[in-house]
Structure 1
Amino acid sequence: MTPVQFGVLTVLCQQGISDIVSIGRRLGVDRITVANVLRRLERRNLVKRPLNSVDKRRKLAQVTKQGRTLVDAVQPAMIRAQRRFVHPLDSDEQAMLDKLLSKLLLTNNEASRAPLK
């Protein structure tokens, strides 16, 4: 599973049902990428694509039980990997890293093809 696939599944687990544009904004990726990821996840029965009866142009996605089970199984390993990655840094250094990365993301956000919202 790719980081973007995991991100899409995580967003859907948190929101229940969402549209492609909103998912992209949460992850900072464009709608074409989200649509392609959703197609692959749907083939694996990890998401379903319900019809939007209000606005047919707004494509929806929803995590399946199988998708939620996968996120629940993978998430602890992702958290452990993140902790292992920053383990060489003390707590002050970890806080500084977070601050610097956030600054870089915010500063460059508007120049992105898919800015975070």
Structure 2
Amino acid sequence: MSVGGLWSPANGWCPLNVLQKVDVRLVSEEACFRSYGYMVTPRMLCAGYRSGEKDACQGDSGGPLVCQENSGRWFLAGVVSWGKGCGRADYYGVYTRVTKLTGWIKEHISGHG
């Protein structure tokens, strides 16, 4: 998984002019629930590392979480949404789960293209 954004931990969190990316791992629903409890819904997924360190951060909201299939094809799996701080141990990044919203997306883009 890769996440894109414009923020970086250099002397604190500061905006950059160059798009950044970080590779993160999807985590189980159970691990996500352990971090956030009932704040996480079926329309969300978590990614990152238990040790923290790599994560999306403030300013990255709305950015893509993309995955690569074995065929090499990339697809949008999630959209950066929220989390507890940035790269904190035991707290994963939370993303909107795109597969749960494909019907809504198709409904709202039909006739606009």
TM range (shorter): under 0.3
RCO (CA 8 Å, sep 6+): is it higher in 1 or 2?
Answer: 1
Normalised by the length of structure 2, the TM-score is 0.24
Normalised by the length of structure 1, the TM-score is 0.24
Which of these two proteins has the greater Rg computed from alpha carbons? Answer: 1
More strand as a share of residues: 2
